[in-house]
Structure formats: structure tokens, C-alpha cells
Amino acid sequence: MKMMVYNIYNWFFDLYKFVIGGLMSLFTYMLPMRDMVLFVTFCFIVDVVIGYAKAWKMKREKFKAKIIWEKTMPRWLFSVIILSLLFLWDKVHHQDFVSTYYVGGYFLSGTVIASIIENALIITRWRVFESLYSFVTKKVAKETGEEIKRKKENL
């Protein structure tokens, strides 16, 4: 009986080492895209802060974590998944002409930065944000070929 318990313990410990080793291998494989993921995450955090400031100034709403978990977190998670898939696509197909995860990260972070600028314009009513918003949206459209549309509620 003592031998059987020892073998089960070793089996679980070996499984633990195998799983940790697999996760570390995946982590190191995805390491080159960490700066892109960190930047997109930073943009989302700033967008949440500016969005809260807009909601407080316009409607005197209190902070609601539910909104973050229902809207921001899924968008952030899908952004990271898309960046990861684009990175894997580049690596699997040995495609070095244009890094598609850079283009995807450029578009995702540009969209979030445009949202930050749009909310800053609403909060401050400072017209310099209007020209900055049009500059960012034109630059993203030029680099990625996709236009950023302004929200109808803010027109």
C-alpha cells in the first residue's frame, strides 16, 4: 500500500512538472509579443479611467465594476486573443514580409486611443482633441485600411 501511495504521488508531481513545463514553453514562445500586449492593456486601462471620468462628468454616475466586466474585459480579452492568433499565424507560416500582429496591434491600440481622445474631447470641450482625433483616425485608416467611425451618441 505504501508503494502505491508513493507512485500516485510521483505521478501527480510528474504531471505537475509536465503542465508547468508546457505553460512555460508557451510563455517563452509568445514572449516577443509581450510589448504589444502590454501597450494594448495600458490603452484599455487609460480608456477605462477616461470613460469613468466622462460618465461622472456627464451623468454623475458612480463607478460600476459590472460595466468593466461586461464590456471592457471581453474586448480586452478578444484583443489579446486576436494579437496572439496573428502572432502565431506569422510564426507558423514563416511570413516575414509584414508582421500581421503589428498591423493588428496598430489598429486595436489606435481604436482605443481614438476612444480616449473622443472622451477627452467630451470631458474638456478642448478643440485640440478634435484635430488630434481626426489625425489618429486618418493615420489608422491610412496604415490599416480600416476607418474608425465616431459613436453616434457623441456627435
pLDDT tens digit string along 52-83?
888 888 888 888 888 889 988 999 999 999 99
Q: Are 148 and 137 in contact (CB under 8 A)?
A: yes
Instruction: Note the pLDDT of residue 135.
Output: 87
Please state the pTM of the whole predicted model: 0.74
Neighbouring C-beta atoms of residue 6, cutoff 10 Å: 10
- Which of 139, 120, 3, 148 has the alpha carbon at shortest distance from 50? 120
What band does 124 get if pLDDT is binned at 50, 70 and 90? Answer: confident
